[in-house]
Copies of this chain bind each other. A is one copy, B any other.
Amino acid sequence: MSLPYDPADLWHLTLDDLEALEIGSGILGTGGGGNPYIGKLRARQLMAEGHAMTILPLDKIDPDALCLSLGGIGAPVVGIERIKEGQEGLRCLRALEAHLEMTVDAIVCEEIGGSNAMEPLNVAALAKLPVLDGDGMGRAFPEMQMTTFSIYGHTSTPSAMSDTHGNVILFHHAETELAHERMARACVVALGGGAVLASAPMRAEFVRRTAIPGTYTQAIALGRAVRDAQRAHDDPIDAICRKENGRRMFSGKITDLKRHLRGGFVVGEAMLSGIDKDHGVQGSVVIQNENLVFRREGEVEVCVPDLILVLDVDTGEAITTEMLRYGQRVAIVALPCHPLLRSPQALEVVGPKAFGFPEITYRPLAEEEEAA
């Protein structure tokens, strides 16, 4: 059986690419997506064992090829305390293949943010498959129905979930994408707060139309830009803003932090006191696994689906929500989200109202840029 792509089109990742991806996916994770350091360690180990990690451009795969999107599910705080066993995603892949009597041709990243950029690479490496260059979020979001795949019509069941102990659950049919999320979330809580979930396979033609394109390339290049700035003693925050059309919103010190586990999510709020008076005196970031809303002097300045980055002010690297600590000096940077995330259809699912902020009206950063 011939491959649904030309092996010459595969980009073989190097160890250095992984290091850059750790930084870049951490930044695009907007605080979540799982701790990228832990994910990278697993990827490095697989690479050291001789597994190839390959990326394939979205337009280089046969439109009929079968693609499986997957990622970690659960609270990032759990991800750093309970280390994965390593076969979770492969078990999901094999369980779905057996259930559907289909063979998967390529792996798709559910969310490029955090360790969820690494998880598809790790599963694909074990299964000797490529990972497509794109993902379902272009960032990280806390819930499963928040992928562009679901938003633009993919039914994500039957899906498979597996945990460190080898438990496997198939979500055979869900009434709605939200019902799927609720069932899966209840299960992941019962499994201790962390698992891997693979959604129903999609045809490559659909993935091409609905994925946020080129996000592996983007994340690796972003990571390199940060590292280059660090080495050149340039300001890495400026490098990020230049590269991603971002805006520096605030510089401050974390003066208070509320963070707890609720319903399988890390939720809370970080309060910031300004250290650079040009950008304000008082700020705050509301979190649910990811950074959802940034306020300055009590006023909403940026909200989902635009990206709110909480970065170490010196290194420019992301501080994920589970790593936030009192006293950290951070820069808040806002990046405009991809247009696929701000259609009326998408805002129903990933706009501020979907996150329980009915009082917030989303004003796209991108349009403000254009107006300015």
Residues in A lying within 8 Å of B, measured CB to CB: 95, 99, 158, 160, 165-175, 179, 182-183, 185-187, 189-191
- Enumerate the 5 nearest inter-chain pairs by beta-carbon distance, A residue then B residue, closest first: A186-B190, A170-B170, A168-B172, A186-B186, A168-B173
A169 touching B167 in the complex, CB below 8 Å, given contacts A183-B191, A187-B186: no
Chain B residues contacting A174 (CB-CB under 8 Å) are 167
Smallest CB separation, A76 vs chain B (Å): 20
Could you show 9 A-B contacts with beta carbons less than 8 Å apart?
Answer: A99-B172, A160-B172, A166-B175, A168-B172, A168-B173, A169-B171, A169-B172, A186-B187, A187-B190
In the complex, the chain B residue whose C-beta lies closest to that of A189 is: B186
Query: Is the pair B160, A167 in contact by a Cβ cutoff of 8 Å?
Result: no
* Distance of A187 Cα from B175 Cα, bound (Å): 14
Q: Is the CB of B179 within 8 A of A167?
A: yes
In the bound assembly, the distance between CA atoms of A310 and B99 in angstroms comes to 46
Q: How far is the CA of A186 from the CA of B167 in the complex (A)?
A: 14
Whether A175 contacts B165 by the Cβ 8 Å rule is yes
Residues of B within 8 A of A191 (CB): 183
Q: Taking each of A175, A179, A183, which has the highest tally of chain B beta carbons within 10 Å of its own beta carbon? A: A183
Closest partner residue, chain B, to A192 (CB atom): B182
Further pairs besides A167-B179, A185-B190, A186-B189: 6, Cβ < 8 Å: A99-B172, A166-B175, A170-B170, A182-B190, A183-B190, A183-B191
Q: Are A166 and B173 in contact (CB under 8 A)?
A: yes
Out of B165, B166, B170, B185, which one reaches A169, CB within 8 Å?
A: B170
Using Cβ atoms and an 8 Å threshold, which residues of chain B touch A99? 99, 170, 172
Q: How far is the CA of A172 from the CA of B158 in the complex (A)?
A: 12
In the assembly, what is the distance between CA of A95 and CA of B157, in Å?
14
A239 to chain B, nearest CB (A): 44
A206–B119 CA distance with the chains assembled, in angstroms:
42
Alpha-carbon distance between A122 and B190 when the two chains are bound, in angstroms: 30
Taken together as a complex, chains A and B put the C-alpha atoms of A165 and B183 apart, in Å, by 13
A340 to chain B minimum Cβ distance, whole angstroms, is: 28
Bound-state CA distance A280–B179 (Å) is 51
B contact residues around A167 at 8 Å (CB) = 173-175, 179, 183
Instruction: State A169–B175 Cα separation when bound (angstroms).
Output: 11
CA–CA, A174 to B91, complex, Å?
A: 13
Nearest B-chain residue to A91, judged by Cβ:
B173
Q: How far is the CA of A172 from the CA of B95 in the complex (A)?
A: 8
